[in-house]
Amino acid sequence: MNDPRYKKLAHLLVNYSTALKRGDRILLDMIDVPDEFTVELIRAVRAAGATPFVETRHTRVGREQLLGMTPDQASDVRDMEMHRMKKMQAYIAIRGADNMTENADVPSDKMQMYARVIRPVQDYRVNQTRWCVLRWPTPSMAQAAGMSTEAFENLYFDVCTMDYARMARAMVPLEKLMSRTDRVHIKGPGTDLTFSIKGIGAKMCKGDRNIPDGEVFSCPTRHSAEGTIQFNTPTLYSGTKFENVRLELKGGKIVSATANNSKRINEILDTDAGARFIGEFSLGFNPHIQNPMCDILFDEKIAGSLHFTPGQAYEDCGNGNKSAIHWDMVLIQRKEWGGGEVWFDGRLIRKDGLFVVKELKGLNPAGLK
């Protein structure tokens, strides 16, 4: 018998996150996901009157493809994927992996080449379809989170099927405040960073693009970021785990980047001209996600966190920066993680991970749980 939580999650993805309508075509991109859940998702799509198209992938097979990928083959993949994507109104990607670092030994030049070539498909999907991306709980993720497999699965389904409509109502004041903010100042251990988000706007993420969710994002104007930011959360990118990432910015550009693997981080940031500029700034506040698990779809929503993103900007609330990379780096500012402050136009907005402005206190864990 299927886990009853499968049906609940499938219903949320189809009827809330992508809001499928009768006659829609949707691509279900399933990577290392149990067939039982794929079947449940197909049934939910059909019940909504939409038509499911399924791509089943495996991370280990994908690694082998990347190891021998040529520019010509990457271009062919892009063209075929774009042809298919243009026939879709919606897209759901669910990504599991027995080994989250499966691509760690794929050469950087291969990863960078493929990322550059395939980017137009990702841009079309983000801007032209109703989409949602999430992970699938695996023992590998549980291990990264320092949890048993069963406890992590319970956390996963609690987080992924929470009342996102209620959370959305609490986000409205923050979205409005960020939309009219000019200067942002972030302070904390090893961090003193200023930038402008004037005229960029803001967008709340309420379970309709990512699951789990719980953030409001904007973007620095392209040349405004000045100062230093020291991240205290591990980050996994292109199959490599980075810790103690420190970025120094001048005129909006990352002029220095160090980490436990400074050579590799700078290789990624040299992917293209836009990779050293910033494409997103966001505040995270999901009350169920307290600690990092080296999975960005969870870590960027950690209660009391923010993330700052080298690379591609979104079309919504973006600064026009273009890049093959989009690398969310997370800083937790709760007191037990060293604390910190977020200031908007000279006004303290959040201190030690808790919102201190009256209209925003509903986004603190006590208001969301």
Domains in the chain: ranges and CATH: 4-160 (3.40.1830.10), 164-368 (no CATH)
| Residue 145 structure tokens | 């989170």
In this structure, the number of other CB atoms found within 10 A of the CB of residue 306 comes to 28
Question: For residues 282 and 336, what is the distance between their CA atoms, to the nearest angstrom?
Answer: 21
pTM: 0.80
Please name the residue that has the structure tokens 């603190």: 364
Is 163 exposed, middle or buried (CB count within 10 Å of its CB: 0-12, 13-18, 19+)? exposed
Question: For residues 167 and 171, what is the distance between their CA atoms, to the nearest angstrom?
Answer: 6
Number of H helices, E strands in the chain: 11, 20
The DSSP element (H or E) to which 238 belongs, if any, is none
> What are the residue ranges of helices labelled H in the chain?
4-12, 35-47, 59-67, 71-85, 108-128, 139-144, 149-160, 164-179, 262-269, 296-299, 365-368
CA 264 distance to own-chain centroid: 21
Question: For residues 164 and 206, what is the distance between their CA atoms, to the nearest angstrom?
Answer: 6
Task: Name the β-bridge partners of 347.
Answer: 344
Question: Per-residue pLDDT for the chain (369 aa), expressed as one digit of tens each?
Answer: 578 999 999 999 999 999 999 999 999 999 999 999 999 999 999 999 999 999 999 999 999 999 999 999 999 999 999 999 999 999 999 999 888 888 889 998 999 999 999 999 999 999 999 999 999 999 988 888 888 999 999 989 988 888 888 899 999 999 999 999 999 999 999 999 999 999 999 999 998 888 899 999 999 999 999 999 999 999 989 888 999 999 999 999 999 999 999 999 999 999 999 999 999 999 999 998 999 988 888 999 999 999 999 999 998 899 999 999 999 999 999 999 999 999 999 999 999 999 999 999 999 998 777
In 3D, which of 82, 83, 89, 94 has the Cα closest to residue 122? Answer: 82
